Amino acid sequence: MNFAIFKPFQRNRLFGLVVCVLAWCATGMAQASELADKLKRPDYALLMRHSLAPGTGDPSGYSLADCASQRNLSDEGRQQAVRAGQWLRRQGVHSALVLTSPWCRCKDTAMRLGLGDVSVEPALASFFGESQRAQEFTQRLQQRLTQAGPTKGDKALVLVTHHVNILAYMGENVGSGDMVLVQFDAQGMLINAKRYPSP
């Protein structure tokens, strides 16, 4: 850009603006690469609560084989899942091993992320209404983390599941579509976590 065509005060303002934009871009790239770099490691994963599906639980008599019988994503929830995938790609996460709960609202969220093939993982199934099984399902999740982490290569490990599963694992409530970067030990137990609100 030829700064000579601008008056002195305009040059100063324009130069300052360019510097600010470059600094903002550099900061964004640094933050982006931090998330992407951690997700390449075998001891990190991204837990995600399925996107917005209004209501609580599922209708009486629902079937996992019939999406129409379940509580499903709303239009807003479907858009929310797409935005999450776009946000992750902006962070530098372009491919992932994506595992999902068998529930349709989780499978729909996982597919709309657009990060790669999606596999159903029973360890991520909901135990809503069966709170006595929280420890059992948490142990299943821990085991799956220890299996998938070392074998996924440099892909991100993304697990789409339910509020109750994430709460049992990390002890915190998360909103619909929220994501949590977790670091885990050799037994799959949580070391630390960082929450990313739904974009």
Q: Which residues contact 182 (CB under 8 A, 6 or more apart)?
A: 44, 45, 46, 47, 169, 170, 190, 191, 192, 193
Alpha helices in 114-188 (DSSP H): 134-148, 163-170
Give φ, ψ of 70 to 5 degrees: -105, 170
Alpha carbons 103 and 67: distance in angstroms, whole number: 8
Q: What is the pLDDT of residue 9?
A: 53
Percent of the chain predicted with pLDDT > 70: 84
How far apart CA 118 and CA 87 sit, in angstroms, is 18
The Cα–Cα gap between 67 and 51 comes to 15
Rounded to an integer, the average pLDDT of 147-175 is 96
Cβ-count burial 61-95 (b if 16+ within 10 Å, e if not) = ebeeeeeeebbbbbeebbebbebbbebbbebbbee
Condensed to tens digits (0 to 9), the pLDDT of residues 122-160 reads 999 999 989 999 999 999 999 999 999 999 999 999 999
Q: How confident is the model at residue 11 (pLDDT cuts 50, 70, 90)?
A: low
Question: In which element (H, E) is residue 112 found?
Answer: helix 104-113
3-state secondary structure at position 196: strand
Q: Tens of pLDDT along 84-136?
A: 999 999 999 999 999 999 999 999 999 999 999 999 999 999 999 899 999 99
Going along the chain from its start, the domains and CATH numbers come out as 7-54+62-196 (3.40.50.1240)
Burial class (CB in 10 A: 0-12, 13-18, 19+), 52: buried
